[in-house]
Copies of this chain bind each other. A is one copy, B any other.
Amino acid sequence: MQITQALKRAAAARPGALATVCGGRRRTFAQVAQRVARLAGALHGLGVQADDRVGILSLNSDRYIETYLAVPWAGAAINPVNTRWSAAEIAYSLADCDTRVLLVDDPFMHMLPELRKRCASLRTLVHVGNGATPQGLLSYEALITATQPVADATLGGRDLAGVFYTGGTTGFPKGVMLSHDALVYNALVFAAQGVARDREVGLHVAPLFHMAGVALLNTLWTVGGTHVTMPAFEPLAALQALERERIATTVMVPTMIQLLVDHPQCAGFDLAMLRRIGYGGSPISDALLERAALRLPQVEFAQVYGMTELAPVATQLGPELHAPEGRARGKTVSAGQAVLGVDLRVVDPEGHPLPPGVVGEVIVRSPGAMLGYWGKPEETAKALQRAPNEGWMHTGDAGRLDEEGFLTIVDRVKDMIVTGGENVYSVEVEQVVARHRAVAACAVIGVPDDDWGERVHAVVQLKPGAQADADAIRAHCKTLIGGYKCPRSVEFVAALPVSGAGKVLKTQLRELHWAGCMRRVA
């Protein structure tokens, strides 16, 4: 299987159909195929050879999508750079996998001096933005215009398709090596499970450097759909795009869904064409789901749990369990069931399977599993070759399976709160806090406490104009969960810090409290 095949299929079957929309630019499948073949030729002209890496540091755009396909078309592997990282982190990742050609978008020009300084391997810079081409960079459009199309290198199977650096907030970034098979398998599963249907229009609002974006990208190609890109998430612009482009499907994180649904102008838009939203990063609160059902009654929600190392999917919680009837079964706190082709286990520290209901490490066997971490054989072995479960990806997440095979992620192993000897799983408390009518979003973390070791601490973002104090939040929680789980302290913020993927950056929240402390290992 090869990730360029779907483009070739679409260009042959429906050459005149709309492939990409980026602001005012609209291109057909035939045009995109032609541009991809020319861009691949241009990459050859820049010295890119088989097995090289080509980086892209850009907001979402049609050119990002073209680059995604032109790089494997040229026989190389893509390195999509995390746009939220510092120049130091980016330089590290580029140097780590020896990326010599980098495509750069306008908002990142200021980083170039530092990238050049820190990353000696960086040789050629291509300007992929909309503005004038800055000094010292090559023009993306000029390269395409000046180059003849070349034939697809037809990489595929277990060949390397891309190196995706994980947005880990601790330690050095790791380059996750994903094969063509892993990416196409994921796209087939997503398409088969209805994340996108044949020839639908999809909105790329999750960043394309992130697996959430990549998954929708490959899935839309698989079903021959149309790609609409947004440079970054902004609720009003997203609402406008959803209406204007008659979007049928998108992938978001719960924070984005919350911002859409709670937007004061949401009800003013005609979003009748929107049929489904896939989300990941965390479960969705029932409270948000209820508000979403009011605003977007025709939309089906599906949760995906996964990680970059799985390209990315492990489990899915289908629409039927988000609908009111299915919601009564209480599965929305879970991440759903193993998707087709995935085997799932919850194991103890020795790697032995645990019975239903017992929390342990989640391990996954999947056709989507990574080839390994770039240049890190020891970490690869630790993730993929740990006895007695060789070949299983050790996720580092703590979870439990129920009798019906639904997986609940209780927390990153390292993030579980241990307070007074009791284990408290942030996600459970977050679900409860989110149900308070004044709460827009929240994060629950463990903070150091002289009495309890760790204390359950809630960071809360209120809805615009809404009011609540710590006592009100605590009182609300005590009606729903055991006292030891309720936040002992509550902090109110204007907005929660989020990662490039829209995931709440708990590490950042924790740092304020743990500075100078030894973080206990749960």
* Interface positions of A (Cβ within 8 A of B): 1, 5-6, 8-9, 12-14, 17, 156, 184, 187-189, 191-194, 197-199, 222-224, 318-321, 326, 336-338, 340-341, 343, 367, 404-406
Residues of B within 8 A of A191 (CB): 188, 191-193
Most buried by B among A187, A191, A198, A319: A198
Q: How long is the Cα–Cα vector from A108 to B170 in the complex, in angstroms?
A: 67
- Knowing A9-B337, A13-B337, say if A222 contacts B192 (CB, 8 Å): yes
CA distance A198 to B198 in the complex (A): 12
Partner of A9, one of B12, B13, B14, B340: B340
**In-complex Cβ contact of A194 among B184, B188, B197, B320 (8 A):** B197
Known contacts being A191-B191, A192-B222, A194-B197, is A12 close to B340, with CB within 8 Å? no
With beta carbons under 8 angstroms apart, the residue of B187, B224, B340 that contacts A6 is B340
Once bound together, how far apart are the Cα atoms of A14 and B318, in whole Å?
10
Contacting residues, chain B, for A5 (C-beta < 8 A): 338, 340-341
Known contacts A194-B197, A197-B194, A406-B12; decide if A222 and B320 are in contact (CB<8 Å).
no
Q: A13-B320, A405-B12 are in contact. Are A340 and B194 (CB under 8 A)?
A: no
Name the B residues within 8 Å of A319 (CB-CB): 198
Considering only CB atoms, which chain B residue lies closest to A406 in the complex?
B12
Beta-carbon nearest neighbor of A188 in chain B:
B188
Task: Write out the residue numbers on chain B whose beta carbons fall within 8 Å of the beta carbon of A405.
Answer: 8-9, 12
Q: Is the Cβ of A1 less than 8 Å from the Cβ of B341?
A: yes
Chain B contacts of A194 at CB under 8 A?
197-198, 223
Q: How many copies does the complex hold?
A: 2
B residues in contact with A336, CB < 8 Å: 13
Which residues from chain B contact A187 at a C-beta distance below 8 Å?
192, 340
- Which residue in chain B gives the minimum CB-CB distance to A5? B340
A-B pairs, 8 with minimum CB distance: A191-B192, A194-B198, A12-B404, A1-B341, A188-B188, A188-B192, A12-B405, A192-B192
Instruction: Kindly provide the distance from the CB of A345 to the nearest chain B CB, expressed in whole angstroms.
Output: 12
CA distance A8 to B339 in the complex (A): 11
Which of A6, A188, A343 has the most CB atoms of chain B within a 10 A radius of its CB? A188
Cα separation A47 to B188 with both chains bound (whole Å): 38
Q: Pick 21 A–B contacts, CB within 8 A, sort by A.
A: A5-B340, A5-B341, A9-B338, A9-B340, A9-B405, A12-B405, A12-B406, A13-B320, A14-B320, A14-B326, A187-B340, A188-B188, A188-B191, A191-B192, A192-B192, A193-B198, A194-B197, A194-B198, A198-B318, A198-B319, A222-B340
Contact A13 B223 (CB under 8 A): no
Min CB gap A60→B, angstroms:
23
- Collect the chain B residues with CB atoms within 8 Å of residue A192's CB: 187-188, 191-192, 222-223
Assembled-state Cα–Cα distance A402/B318 (Å): 41
How far, in whole Å, are A340 and B337 apart by their CA atoms in the complex?
Answer: 25
Most buried by B among A6, A191, A319: A191
| A199 contacts across to B, CB distance below 8 A | 320
Q: Which residues of B contact A13 (CB under 8 A)?
A: 318, 320-321, 336-337
**A357–chain B nearest beta-carbon distance, Å:** 15
Give the residue among A1, A194, A337, A340 with the most B Cβ atoms within 10 A. Answer: A340
CA distance A194 to B13 in the complex (A): 15
Closest to A12 in B: B404
Residues of B within 8 A of A197 (CB): 194, 197
Instruction: Kindly state the separation between the CA atoms of A204 and B28 in the bound complex, as whole angstroms.
Output: 37
Is the beta-carbon distance between A367 and B14 smaller than 8 angstroms?
no
In the bound complex, CA of A341 to CA of B181 (Å):
9
In the bound complex, CA of A9 to CA of B326 (Å): 15
* Docked pose: A12 CA to B326 CA in angstroms: 11
List the B side residues contacting A326 at CB < 8 Å: 14
Tell me the complex Cα distance, A193–B219, Å: 11
Residues of B within 8 A of A224 (CB): 318
- With a 10 A CB-CB cut-off, give which of A13, A187, A197, A343 has the most chain B CB atoms: A13
From residue A324, how far is it (CB to closest CB) to chain B in Å?
A: 14
| Smallest CB gap from A9: residue in B | B337
Measured in the bound complex, the distance between the Cα atoms of B14 and A336 in whole Å is 12
